[in-house]
Amino acid sequence: MTRSVQQLFDLKGKTALVTGGSRGLGLQMAQALGEAGARVVLTSRKAGDLEQAADMLKAQGINAQWIAADCANEADIHRLVHETTQLVGQIDILVNNAGASWGAPAEDHPTAAWDKVMNLNIRGYFLLSQAVAKAGMLEHGGRIINLASIAGLGGNPVEMKTIAYNTSKGAVLNFTRALAAEWGPRNINVNAICPGFFRTKMAEVLIDTMGEDVMTSRAPLRRLGDDEGLKGLTVLLASDAGKHITGQWVAVDGGVSAVLG
């Protein structure tokens, strides 16, 4: 029998691991998955922030746990996956969201900063996806959602000098396509979300530099993303409602990418 829309979006009985989940877009996505019924495990580097975020979700009736880990560190990634499976069982949904940025003109961009951004934004995604797959997802199937960015779709406004970040997010898009093609026969859907400008800590400096009016004027919807902007798409890509979507990216940017082509 064909399921209802409510049944297709229902995540009861599923477990989601969300990196960079203690604040910003990661916490927003974790909240969405929890509201749809999933058990949620948050991870980031700072235990205090994680505990506070998990307590907030629990207060809303969400089954939320947390494990502190550095997703730029291979040993920590393997520990994270082991502890998650010990805590909640198999991982059905992986949200690769932890990320770093660095602002500097390309001609002066420090090599160490380049490596830091690449290690977390793309190498970390690969290593964690690999570890989760080997921990059971290759056998039982699942969903992987990678956070890219509209910065990965092309160049940036001249005010933004973030070549390592842009490069890493462009790599995330093709990583998503390649992994979706390889793991599709194992019933693993892999997709990417490309947020535009949201009111996050990472974006605060840019908003202060460029001015909110300038930033919103570049979006046809004339606004920044808010604390609900990614929730619907996240649940779609994590649930059976999106079961036939894989290898795709979706921009959530108020229309900026449509204008830029």
Active site residue 125: no
Beta partners for 195?
Answer: 252
Query: Which residue from 35, 34, 38, 67 is spatially nearest to 50, judged by alpha carbons?
Result: 67
Q: Residues 6 or more apart from 173 whose CB is under 8 A from it? A: 148, 152, 153, 192, 194, 249
Q: Residues 6 or more apart from 111 whose CB is under 8 A from it? A: none
Catalytic residue chosen out of the listed positions 66, 125, 165, 197: 165
Evaluated on CA atoms 257, 239, 247, 165, the torsion sign reads positive
Q: Beta-carbon neighbour count of residue 244 at 10 Å?
A: 7
Query: Which residue from 98, 81, 100, 89 is spatially nearest to 30, judged by alpha carbons?
Result: 98
Residues assigned a catalytic role: 165
